[in-house]
Amino acid sequence: MGYCADGYGTIRFRTSPSKEVLERIESEFEYQASRDEDRCVSVWAYDKYHEDCVLDVLHEITPFVESGVIEYRGEDDCFWRFRFDGERFIEESGHVVYEGDESCPVQLENSEKLELLCGIIETFENFLDDRGIVIENDEKEEDPESASNIYGTDYGDLESEIESVLQKYGLLPV
């Protein structure tokens, strides 16, 4: 009994695939193959997924493949794909992120988020200190030698800017 998954993708061959290669794809994968152009084959499958058969066929056709990706979504909403990297098909797991989606795959507690932002700012502090660069700041207390290089409003502004950039690229939730 197989795992239920739907898959689709395109395989581009170095030369036009032989009838035997197309039959192998159709019979072992339980896929339907259709030629989009002379060297490309679109493949899709519904409901059935037998990993050993998929891996066997991908291995068998690899010498003839120029490029290709076959993506799957499993019955438990898992996502994965087989991508040809120029030498072989590699399996990659993944998730879907839609443009404009305000959710983020990284979910941090507030304390973890602050620790991340402080760690990034500390990296900048160390960089400045290692190079003997001192940022003038009127907010530094009486002992400017012992105060942090990034201080007060400068610290808060930098923290906000870093957080905005991380949110823009989906690395922190909005």
Q: What percent of the chain has pLDDT over 90?
A: 20
| Residue keyed to tokens 């870093």 | 162
Could you tell me the domains of the chain?
5-94 (3.30.70), 110-168 (no CATH)
- pLDDT, tens digit, for every residue of 73-120? 988 888 999 999 999 999 998 877 666 555 555 667 778 888 899 999
Q: What percent of the chain has pLDDT over 70?
A: 80
pTM across the whole model: 0.54
